[in-house]
Structure 1
Amino acid sequence: MPPQIRPISAELQANATNNLNEVPERIEADLQAIKTWIDQQPHLNPRTDDQFLIAFLRGCKYSLERTKAKLDKYYTLRTKYPELFNITNLDDPKLREIQRQGPIVYLPNLLNGVRLGIFRLGVVPAEKYSIGEVMQVGQVMQEIALIEDDYAIINGVILIMDMSGATASHMFQMTPGLAKKMTAFSEEALPVRPKAQHFVNTITGFETVFNMFKPMMSKKQQGRLFVHSKIDSLLEQVPLEYLPKEYGGQNGSLAEIIAEWDTKFDAYREHFKDNAKYVTNEKLRPGKPIDFDSIYGTEGSFRKLDVD
């Protein structure tokens, strides 16, 4: 039976072949190799459908060892920190309230084949919602993108962090512990390809948080960070036409995009309920158990997960 994956355009296939080492004739064997490995891991119970697994192969440029490590870390962190990374109830009232305010949107038109996203923390009142609750919405959207957005997986994502309306209260909700968890998940577990992060309309307190986050990131990801005090310098890298209508651009209306994602959350209700059963059991992990306290302890220094 051939792999059950979506067909992609010739242009996208060329990018996957040239940039991610994808060989269409070998996909079936590569998927089977990962499934065989999963069967041999007593602690690991992941999703195993072809479309899900190929996202990890593509995110790891078809290195089977990197794919195994990333898949394991994905479920290890989701199991350990479900309140951040393993959302199961898309009918949670607070989750939906936040989503409908649109702090995070993915835009319909691509920039040179790359997906564009905007994160607008300032639209969510800091006194009503925590940064962790906002990130839950982002996690749901990332998971949906992982499943259905071939452009985000193959060509990558450019994220614009618009700080307009944000306050110091927003900034100082970002604790070192939360920053460590988010950075580890983004770099070590998620197969979506970050191409650049642009911070625009920065506010007082931003520099403190930025300087806390940056050293936790790999040198490669640090080189993809860009800070703009105003939008003018952003437009040198992301032309105005690629921003939403509310910004003076032509890339969709925020209100319409938010409404579309509201419908999408409804459509994925059962998928996220099922997340509860896709976890790791650390008691069954072969070899040395992971010492989470030493990795994320408030006094300890951050180290990368040591996962077989």
Structure 2
Amino acid sequence: MAPQIRPLTPELQKAAVEQLKEDPDRLEADLQAFKAWIEQQPHLNPRMDDQFLVAFLRGCKFSLERAKSKLDKFYTLRTKYPDYFQVTSTTEGKFREIHKTGSILFLPTPLNGNGPRIIIWRMGLCPADKYHVLECMRVALAMQEITIMEDDYANVHGLIFIMDLKDATAGHMFQMTPSMAKKFSVFSEEGLPLRPKAQHFINTITGFEQVFNMFKPMMSKKMQERLFVHGNKMGLLTDQVPLKYLPQEYGGENGSAPDLVAAWEKKFDEYTEFFNSSSEYGTDESLRPGKPIDFEGLFGSEGSFRKLNVD
């Protein structure tokens, strides 16, 4: 049976071939090899949708070994830390309330019209005395999972992340513990198939430097080189992300917060069953071949994540 995958636009297909080493003639065979490996892993029970699995191949530039490792880590960390990484409902708790603040925006037009997806998190719109950063991160995580399933620009070109700290407070900074920072750094870099191309920080506040210096050593050297701190100098950001690709709230042309919130509300409704079924997927460490994972050892004081044993 032919793989159930959306065809890419000609521009995206060209980029996938040149940048990700994707071979359209081998795509079905690559997916079958990936599935064959999954079926041989007694501990691993992932989604098997072609569209979901091809995102891991694209996110790993069609290195099957890297895709195996990333998929395993994606589900290992979700299973071990469900409060952090497993979203099973977009209607319970404060999820929709946080989303309706417009604090997290996935902008409709990618950079330069055919590049990475741009995401903005306006932290100050979620008061620290009302929402915990973990609750906000779970909203972002759900949006990323939907992006994995349906955003070809993000899957081919990756993500550009903008953290706007306007009106944020020290309370926001204090919520991010070293343990939490380690978990999110590891999951983002080692588990998610969406490749971060740049992370920009604007309107930084007192206390930001401490959190930033806590996160930075936990990242790979490549990721550290993609971090940009602009303070309150918007011109430094727009040198890399032209103003027209920012939303109307920033003087740009790339959508408005109310419209984006409304569109994503509908999307969350469409994905109700998808998230309700999330708890069905994961890992069973008692069935993992070889030595069991030492989770305490995985997150050492140096913030490193040792490689999982993936054949």
Give yes or no for TM over 0.5: yes
Over the aligned positions, Cα root-mean-square deviation in angstroms equals 1.1
What is the correspondence of 1:281-292 to structure 2 with a 5 Å cutoff?
281-292=284-295
1:266 maps onto 2:269 in alignment: yes
Q: Quote how far apart the aligned CAs of 1:91 are.
A: 1.4
Structure 1 residues 128-277: aligned runs within 5 Å: 128-230=130-232, 231-277=234-280
Distance 2:133 2:292 in 1: 30
C-alpha contact 2:201 2:230 (8 A) present in aligned 1: yes
Compared CA separation, residues 275 and 176, structure 1 to 2 (3 A): same
Q: Kindly state the Cα deviation for residue 102 of structure 1 after the two structures are TM-superposed.
A: 1.7
Q: Which runs of 4+ in 1 moved over 4 A?
A: none
1:7-28: CA deviation from partner (whole Å, max 9, x where unpaired): 1111100100000010001011
User: 8 Å contact 1:89–1:273 — kept in the other structure?
Assistant: yes
Query: Is the contact made by 1:122 and 1:164 (CA closer than 8 Å) also made in structure 2?
Result: yes
TM-score by length of 2: 0.96
Q: Please give the residue correspondences for 1:32-51 in structure 2 after superposition, counting only pairs within 5 Å.
A: 32-51=32-51
How far did 1:303 drift? 2.9
Tell me whether 1:68 sits opposite 2:68 in the alignment: yes
Give the Cα separation in 2 of the matches to 1:114 and 1:187.
16
Shift of 1:157: 1.0
Within the alignment, does 1:114 sit opposite 2:116 as a pair?
Answer: yes
Q: 1:256 to 1:206 in 2, by over 3 A?
A: same
Does structure 2 conserve the Cα–Cα contact (< 8 Å) formed by 1:47 and 1:278? yes
Q: Is the 8 A contact 2:182 2:303 kept in 1?
A: no
Distance 2:138 2:185 in 1: 15
AA aligned to 1:94 is K
1:278 partnered with 2:281 = yes
CA apart distance, 1:176: 0.5
1:244 shift after superposition: 0.7
Q: Name the CA distance, whole Å, in 2 between partners of 1:63 and 1:233.
A: 35
Contact 1:126 1:169 in 2 (8 A): yes
Q: SS at 1:141's partner residue? A: helix
TM-score normalised by structure 1 residue count? 0.97
Residue number in structure 2 paired with 1:124:
126
Instruction: Measure, in 2, the Cα distance between the counterparts of 1:209 and 1:89.
Output: 29
Deviation at 1:296, TM superposition (A): 2.9
Distance 2:116 2:299 in 1: 33
Asked if the contact 1:158–1:194 (Cα under 8 Å) also holds between the matched residues in 2, the reply is yes
Structure 2: how far apart are the matches of 1:302 and 1:12?
34
Alignment deviations for residues 177-218 of structure 1 (CA, whole Å, 9 cap, x no partner)? 000000100110101011101100000000000000000000
Residue 90 of structure 2 aligns to a residue in which SS?
coil
Q: 2:304 — aligned with what?
A: 302
Q: Do 2:103 and 2:121's aligned partners in 1 also have CA atoms closer than 8 Å?
A: yes
Number of corresponding residues: 307
In the alignment, what sits opposite 1:81? 81
Structure 1 SS opposite 2:210: helix
Amino acid across the alignment from 1:277: E
Distance in 2 of aligned mates of 1:300 and 1:205: 21
Aligned partner of 1:238: which letter? Answer: V
Unaligned runs of 5+ in 1: none
Q: How far has the Cα of 1:96 moved from its partner?
A: 1.0
Structure 2 spans left out of the alignment, 5+ residues? none
Q: Which stretch shifts more, 209-218 or 108-117?
A: 108-117
